[in-house]
Amino acid sequence: MQKPTMFKAKGDNIDLQLAQWGSGRKTLLCIHGLTANCRCWDRLIPALSGSHRVLGLDLRGRGLSGKPAEGYSLGHHVKDLRALLQDLELQRVTLLGHSLGAYIAVAFAACYPDMVERLILLDGGGQLSQKRWDSIETVIKPSLERLKNVFPSFEAYTQPLKEAPIFQPWTEFHETYFQHDVREVDQGVRSRIDPAIIQQEIADIRKKDVSVHYRDIACDVLILRATRGFLGQQDLLLPLHTVETMLQSILNARELAVADTNHFSILFDRHTDRDLAIRDFLK
């Protein structure tokens, strides 16, 4: 597993943590999901870093980035990305977003089309019904509860995760990813994420009509969707009718269903078709 270089840069009045892999002439900026962090991209790096310098971002409130009590919305994240690119003196990048990161990438690409060369949406970015959001919230509730808990050790923190079907088989990648997620406290360890900010994020995304951004996206777009949701079809983040709307509304969009994947395995597991599609799209 290729180890990244870690450094900080400026967001919108906040410090943001970044991981960097590779040193290509062009830059690919990766934006993680709701409760994830910048090390979620480790498994994908071989498919990404051949032609690009890859930057993985800890969103505000996650990982080692700053954690204000308020300010968790698509608008705040878009401002962070704009300030970050200015700080790094990057005029144009390719964006890759997973889950919540895909929604952020869509909003940024629509607001700043001249700054986005290409856009990759990994199981996210679609306009969903409130009923589907209800299903998704029900499924992720145990994960959000975990954020509140203190565990006596990192081993105790990861034990239930090692038993979860979505993280099978458990690998060095998972170990590194969750190490970046925890901090030491007096009683042991806990997640770096305050669950209150996640509730802010969820409330914000549920109010948004992300589809209003589709026609303002000027770059080529690759949509990679999982064929299963978190647990089944009712919690798919990119159901077929949603993807069809995206393909009709986004001028230069294409789509690939990544077979036998769910919302997590499309990112965390090895998958040849996914990697080939990304490499071809980046050429």
**What is the rounded distance in angstroms from the CA atom of residue 3 to the CA atom of residue 19?**
9
Question: How many angstroms separate the CA atoms of 19 and 30, rounded?
Answer: 10
What are the catalytic residues?
99
Q: 112-147 as b/e, with b when 16 or more CB fall inside 10 Å?
A: eeebbbbbbbbbbbbbbeeebeebbeebbeebbebb
Report the C-alpha gap between 58 and 17 in whole angstroms: 5
Q: Which residues contact 51 (CB under 8 A, 6 or more apart)?
A: 24, 26, 282, 283
